[in-house]
């Protein structure tokens, strides 16, 4: 349970209105951030020929990451937005290598999880900057206020140059807000907001760790899409009858 909120009432209101929030403060201590970076570097070495932007659910195979995913530093950011009963939904290392890092097409996270949950309210992604993240090296960008739907119309794109094979149609990029973050800072965004990133054409790597949470009142639906998928009760109590890896 959070003892003191890291977010102000205005922060929370801005998140609700716009669908995102930039937290331009260090999330972890330098020592703790260095440990997380070391774990990422290990995964990067072990990935073989797999592209660096495809390191999905690394905590399934490396439980050292739970120290960060279940930490008070992160959960105290999430609780003011989704409440005291929190489920760890997923995590993902997203790394755009220098000069060759692919674009992330405009998308909503919720669209890729369709049919897996009974609702998509209050799913929060904490995007932690392991490297400095700027417009130059392909930082994340969002279209503010587009988190009211979460299931837009998509069209196909070339997957050689893009992380995904589809993108949202007819996005007005002139409204985009770019998430410039220093190493150790983070952003928070609603799973339904339209977001993406340009390719990394700079000489600087851009790596982030996404940590995804939802209220423990959300029910995971039975079906093939959730077979073998593990979730953790991060804080509080279960409100939906889900099965957890740590209970």
Say what the pLDDT of residue 145 is.
97
What's the pLDDT at 143? 98
Neighbours of 133 (CB within 10 A): 28
Per-residue pLDDT at 49: 62
Conformation bin of residue 33: beta by default, left when phi > 0, alpha when psi is -120 to 50: alpha
Query: What pLDDT was estimated at residue 52?
Result: 54
* CATH code given to domain 17-235: 2.60.120.620
Pinpoint the alpha helices (H) of the chain: 9-18, 30-46, 66-69, 72-82, 109-112
In angstroms, rounded to a whole number, what is the distance separating the alpha carbons of residues 117 and 133?
A: 31
| Run of H or E residues at 91 | strand 86-96
Residue 217: its pLDDT value, please? 98
Between 72-82 and 9-18, two packed helices, what is the crossing angle to 10 degrees?
Answer: 70
Residues 6+ apart with CB under 8 A from 66: 59, 232
Contact 12, 77 (CB under 8 A): no
109: how many CB neighbours lie within 10 A of its CB? 21
Backbone angles phi, psi at 32, to 5 degrees: -70, -40
* CB distance 183 to 97 below 8 Å: no
Determine if the pTM surpasses 0.85.
yes
Dihedral sign of CA atoms 12, 18, 24, 27 in order: positive
How many beta carbons lie within 10 A of that of residue 115, not counting itself? 9
CA nearest to 183, candidates 209, 216, 146: 209
Per domain, the residue ranges of the chain are 17-235
Q: What pLDDT, in 10s, does the model give residues 132-161?
A: 999 999 999 999 999 998 899 999 999 888
**Residue 168 bridge partners (DSSP):** 154
10-residue block means of pLDDT along the chain (247 residues)? Answer: 78 97 98 97 81 78 97 98 98 89 91 94 97 96 94 91 89 97 98 95 94 98 93 98 93
């Amino acid at each position: 349970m959070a003892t003191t909120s890291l977010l102000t009432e205005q922060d929370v209101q801005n998140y609700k209105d716009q669908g995102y929030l930039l937290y331009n403060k260090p999330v972890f201590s330098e020592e703790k951030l260095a440990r997380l970076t070391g774990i990422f570097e290990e995964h990067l070495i072990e990935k073989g020929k797999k592209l660096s932007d495809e390191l999905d659910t690394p905590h399934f195979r490396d439980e050292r990451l739970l120290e960060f995913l279940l930490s008070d530093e992160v959960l105290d950011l999430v609780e003011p937005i989704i409440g005291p009963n929190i489920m760890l939904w997923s995590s993902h290392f997203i790394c755009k290598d220098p000069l060759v890092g692919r674009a992330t097409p405009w998308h909503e996270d919720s669209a890729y999880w369709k049919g897996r949950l009974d609702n998509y309210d209050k799913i929060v992604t904490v995007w932690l900057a392991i490297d400095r993240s700027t417009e130059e090296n392909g930082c994340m960008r969002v279209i503010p206020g587009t988190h009211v739907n979460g299931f837009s119309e998509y069209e196909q794109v070339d997957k050689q140059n893009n992380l995904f094979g589809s993108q949202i149609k007819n996005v007005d990029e002139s409204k985009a807000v770019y998430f410039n973050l220093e190493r150790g800072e983070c952003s928070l965004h609603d799973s339904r907001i339209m977001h993406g990133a340009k390719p990394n054409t700079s000489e600087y790597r851009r790596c982030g760790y996404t940590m995804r949470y939802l209220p423990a009142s959300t029910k995971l639906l039975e079906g093939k899409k959730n077979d073998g998928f593990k979730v953790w009760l991060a804080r509080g109590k279960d409100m939906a009858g889900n099965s957890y890896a740590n209970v």
